[in-house]
Amino acid sequence: MMSPTSLAAVAVGGAIGSVGRYWLAHQVNLMMGYGGIAWGTLSVNVIGGFAIGFMLIALQEWLHAAVEWRLLLVVGVLGGFTTFSSFSWDTFTLWEDGKHLLAGLNVLMNVSFSLIGTALGVVIARWLLPISGNLAN
């Protein structure tokens, strides 16, 4: 059952993540420009992939955190931060504009780099675990 605390954790985290996504994507797009690939969306998806890999290992294996922390940080913040719907729209508009190669490249880059980001987050979190585990004792 969803408690008021769980709903509040997701809502607060989602607000934080959404603002973070908007800000970061805007900053990246200002730096990179828009040449067909939505660099801001790609950046958010890769960082989000890394963050979920790292954060879930930290919460589950290091801290043995209460479920409310996972709801706040993973479901809320990262759920609000990552941009699959934006990625889908960016890809659709590229395809619709006849830029089929760029649409395919956008799919390939977002999926592969986000998966690589997730894997790196897990690997780095587990690499740091012995250090963190020793500090907790």
**23-51: pLDDT as tens digits:** 999 999 999 987 778 899 999 999 999 99
% of the chain beyond a pLDDT of 70: 94
**76-112: pLDDT as tens digits:** 999 999 988 888 888 999 999 999 999 999 999 999 9
| CB within 8 Å of 124: residues ≥ 6 apart | 54
pLDDT of res. 33: 82
- Tell me the C-alpha distance between 39 and 27, whole Å: 10
**Model's pTM, two decimal places?**
0.81
136 pLDDT higher than 60: no
Number of domains in the chain: 1
For the chain, give the mean pLDDT. Answer: 90
Q: Is residue 69 part of a domain?
A: yes
Q: Which two tokens stand for residue 33?
A: 């420009």
Q: Is residue 45 part of a domain?
A: yes
Q: Is residue 5 part of a domain?
A: no
Give a three-class secondary structure readout of the chain. CCCHHHHHHHHHHHHHHHHHHHHHHHHHHHHHCCCCCCHHHHHHHHHHHHHHHHHHHHHHHHCCCCHHHHHHHHHHHHHHHCCHHHHHHHHHHHHHCCCHHHHHHHHHHHHHHHHHHHHHHHHHHHHHHHHHHHHHC
pLDDT of res. 67: 93
Q: Is residue 1 part of a domain?
A: no
Q: Is residue 26 part of a domain?
A: no
Q: Is residue 118 part of a domain?
A: yes
Q: Is residue 8 part of a domain?
A: no
pLDDT of res. 137: 43
Q: Is residue 7 part of a domain?
A: no
Domain span at residue 121 reads 33-136
